[in-house]
Amino acid sequence: MDFTDKGIQVVKLTPEYFAKKGWNVHYVVTRDNSRSGSYQYQPVINPDGVIVHRLSTPSCRIGESLRKHLLRVIYSQLRDYAAIVKLVWLGRRVLGDSKIDILYGGGPHGALAAHIVRLLRPRRKLVTVSRFYGVWDLYTEILAERRWLRLLANFATCAALYLRSNLKIITNDGTRGDQALRRIRPSNMESLRFYVNGVDQYSIDEIEVTGLKRTLNIGDMFCAACITRLVASKRVDLCIKVTAAAVNKYGLSKFRLIIVGDGSERNRFEKLAADLCVAQNVVFVGAVDNRCVKNYLAVSDIFLSMYRVSNVGNPLLEAIRANKIIFTLNNGDTSAWIKHRENGFIYEEDDSMVDRVARDIVELANTPGLRDRMKHNIRTTEKEKLWTWNERMQAEYSEINKLVEC
């Protein structure tokens, strides 16, 4: 995964943290600039103190134009394995040119590539760290439901989880990566560190927020924020359907959904808003830098997250830090964070879910006392469960530093 200021923060924060601690850090990466990727609309970033070795992820014009789902999946898998080959080639070259103590494989492909590089240097004493930013649906929809054929599309992740390393770090993002590791190789649980991502303390510039309100022209509207990549699995369509029900069915005309993020499904979501007659109530902001996300939360009353597998990503944690009332789905480990009508609203996904969410939003908009009680409870959740990024990175740094000192 390449660096970004508009998405997952820990990818950039980790090498930066080690560089600030005085380590020489080499970062080997293949960058996916394809139309379906997340980097073609983002600038290249090279963090201070980090030596970046970057190649492009292999792609071809015919593959990018494929329409059938099965063919797209096969093409994507071939690209992934070609990227692993590139990572191995480049990583082996860096290892030969530099004094390296630790091989740190980020993401399933990076972790698998690091293992292969280690095998190609059998006489070199190296500490290995395998890092996973969650496991998406590997446990909840594949291992737990025994959909063995779908394991073929997750072979790299399974192999990287199975192979031994000195440390396995998995983000506790609600996708139950700890259970996936236990199912694949229980003996590897001893090396597991299961960390929730950090969230910086919430502070805003009132002048910036006032200017943003003016730009968005929201006035006294009741506003919801949705912060995500615009891809199918993030289920932004549900947020738009909820908006349509709240506005058209339950009469909450002064309601605005602010969608922060970009991606391959943006045109489809914009068309859906128009088809449901809420184009004026839905604002597509596009991708913004992480430091600006807090301003969009500041101008919003509630936060919507309807991801397919789990909703405990950094946007939800940031919404908790900002003390926003959250509307989300009961999947993965999301219920460990949100309790229905206590510190937020959490729903089982069924045919009536969109209607129930819309009715609860209208009730919340019209009931100040309910908003006050729930904000008090979400502040308690923030104090009890959230780390700052510095606390989160220090925990990981301490574990890895101990491996080198041994």
Q: pLDDT band at residue 115, thresholds of 50, 70 and 90?
A: very high
Spatial distance between the Cα atoms of 327 and 356, rounded to a whole number of angstroms? 11
Higher pLDDT: 4 or 188? It is 188
Over residues 184-199, the mean pLDDT reads 96
204 Cα distance to chain centroid: 23
Question: 4 lies in a domain?
Answer: no
Q: Please give the pLDDT value at position 14.
A: 96
Q: pLDDT band at residue 101, thresholds of 50, 70 and 90?
A: very high
Question: 5 lies in a domain?
Answer: no
CB within 8 A of 397, min separation 6: which ones? 17, 18, 21
Q: Are residues 302 and 314 in the same domain?
A: yes
Spatial distance between the Cα atoms of 41 and 62, rounded to a whole number of angstroms? 21
Q: Please give the pLDDT value at position 121.
A: 84
Q: Are residues 301 and 398 in the same domain?
A: no
Over residues 209-236, the mean pLDDT reads 95
Over residues 20-40, the mean pLDDT reads 88
What's the CATH number where 102 sits? 3.40.50.2000
State yes or no: pLDDT of 75 exceeds 70. Answer: yes
Q: Are residues 138 and 249 in the same domain?
A: no
Q: Please give the pLDDT value at position 148.
A: 85
Q: Please give the pLDDT value at position 213.
A: 94
Q: Are residues 53 and 129 in the same domain?
A: yes
SS3 (DSSP) at 401: helix
State yes or no: pLDDT of 125 exceeds 90. Answer: no
The mean predicted confidence, pLDDT, of the chain is 93
Higher pLDDT: 404 or 339? It is 339
Q: Please give the pLDDT value at position 4.
A: 86
8-state DSSP, 253: -
Extended strands (E) in 121-176: 127-132, 167-171
Q: Are residues 161 and 215 in the same domain?
A: no
Q: Please give the pLDDT value at position 62.
A: 85
42 Cα distance to chain centroid: 16
Widest distance between CA atoms in the chain: 70
SS3 (DSSP) at 283: strand
Question: 326 lies in a domain?
Answer: yes
Spatial distance between the Cα atoms of 135 and 132, rounded to a whole number of angstroms? 7
Q: Are residues 47 and 77 in the same domain?
A: yes
- Ranges 19-28, 67-76, 194-203: which has the least confidence: 67-76
Question: 183 lies in a domain?
Answer: yes
Please write the tens of the pLDDT for every residue from 79-90: 999 999 999 999
State yes or no: pLDDT of 188 exceeds 90. Answer: yes
Using a CB cutoff of 8 Å and minimum separation of 24, what contacts does 294-297 make?
294/202, 294/203, 294/204, 294/318, 294/322, 295/204, 295/205, 295/208, 295/209, 295/212, 296/212, 296/225, 296/227, 296/258, 296/260, 297/225, 297/227, 297/322, 297/324
Query: 196: buried, middle or exposed (CB in 10 Å: 19+, 13-18, 0-12)?
Result: middle
Q: Are residues 184 and 240 in the same domain?
A: no
Cα dihedral across residues 367, 305, 194, 24: positive or negative: negative
Please write the tens of the pLDDT for every residue from 250-292: 999 999 999 999 998 999 999 999 999 999 999 999 999 888 9
State yes or no: pLDDT of 150 exceeds 90. Answer: no
Query: 312: buried, middle or exposed (CB in 10 Å: 19+, 13-18, 0-12)?
Result: buried
Spatial distance between the Cα atoms of 25 and 50, rounded to a whole number of angstroms? 5
Over residues 401-406, the mean pLDDT reads 86
Question: 3 lies in a domain?
Answer: no
Please write the tens of the pLDDT for every residue from 358-368: 999 999 999 99
Q: Please give the pLDDT value at position 406.
A: 67
Structure tokens at 350: 């069924």
Identify the domain containing residue 339 by its residue range: 206-385
Q: Please list the residues that pair with 130 across neighbouring strands.
A: 105, 168
Question: 58 lies in a domain?
Answer: yes
Q: Are residues 181 and 212 in the same domain?
A: no
DSSP 171-235: E-SSS-HHHHHHHH-GGGGGGEEEEPPB-PPP---HHHHHHHHHHHT-TT-EEEEEES--SGGG-
Cα–Cα distances (Å) from 334 to 103, 181, 190, 327, in that order, read 32, 19, 25, 11
8-state DSSP, 340: B
Spatial distance between the Cα atoms of 366 and 228, rounded to a whole number of angstroms? 27
Q: Are residues 70 and 98 in the same domain?
A: yes
Q: pLDDT band at residue 61, thresholds of 50, 70 and 90?
A: confident
Q: Are residues 284 and 305 in the same domain?
A: yes
Higher pLDDT: 43 or 209? It is 209
Q: Are residues 33 and 175 in the same domain?
A: yes
Question: 68 lies in a domain?
Answer: yes
Spatial distance between the Cα atoms of 20 and 389, rounded to a whole number of angstroms? 14
Question: 355 lies in a domain?
Answer: yes
Q: pLDDT band at residue 146, thresholds of 50, 70 and 90?
A: confident
8-state DSSP, 250: T
Q: Please give the pLDDT value at position 40.
A: 76
Please write the tens of the pLDDT for every residue from 153-171: 899 999 999 999 999 999 9
The count of structural domains within the chain is 2
Tokens 């910086």, located at residue? 200
Q: Are residues 139 and 247 in the same domain?
A: no
Helical packing angle, 155-162 and 107-120, nearest 10°: 50
